[in-house]
Amino acid sequence: MISPSHLRPGSPARPRGGASAEQSLIERINEDPTILGLGDLDLKRASWRSRQISLLLESPAESVIFVVELQLGPTDNRHIMRVVERWLTERKHQRMKRCSAVLVAEEIAPRYVNILALISRAIPLLALEMEPSAGTQGTTLLFRPVGLR
């Protein structure tokens, strides 16, 4: 795990005055990366800007890198392009490791599921919908896989 001091914002300056929703979500994933449902992972890098979060997670046991693009709210075409571009970049840098792309949003419309299914034939791609769930110990997050095949 990385410490909160290693969490980097994107281009804009760090959010002022209290934690933003993006920073809070990164901190929750940093505390327990298994909530994504991808296995026992280490958070290597995190950055955010305006409702978009970029994560790089690694499974040291399996030598797998997960490039995660998380967007608060519904997915859109820019979100899909971002995850593919980041996957390409990381795959070049991490030649000795398998690299998978993960797109996460609060809502993935059926039209985008069809496009993601087509893209997943060419690159290893997972799609997850994020939804809050009220429990006995407050609100938790559920990450539900979206069928792409």
Domain harbouring 35, CATH code: 3.40.1350.10
- pLDDT recorded at residue 30: 87
CA–CA distance from 144 to each of 65, 72, 80, 91 (Å)?
Answer: 20, 15, 18, 25
Q: Quickly list DSSP for the chain.
A: ---GGG-EE-SSPPPSSS--HHHHHHHHHHH-GGGGSS-S-EEEEEEEETTEEEEEEEETTTTEEEEEEEEEEE--HHHHHHHHHHHHHHHHHTTTSEEEEEEEEEE--HHHHHHHHHHTTTS-EEEEEEEEEEETTEEEEEEEE----
How far apart CA 74 and CA 107 sit, in angstroms, is 4
* 72 burial type by CB count under 10 A (0-12 exposed, 13-18 middle, 19+ buried): middle
- pTM for the whole structure: 0.82
- pLDDT recorded at residue 6: 38
% of the chain residues with pLDDT over 90: 58
- pLDDT recorded at residue 137: 63
**What range defines the domain where residue 95 resides?**
4-10+17-145
- pLDDT recorded at residue 136: 58
Give the chain's domain count.
Answer: 1
Cβ count within 10 A of residue 27: 14
For the chain, residues with pLDDT lower than 70 are 1-19, 134-139, 149
- pLDDT recorded at residue 133: 73
- pLDDT recorded at residue 19: 54
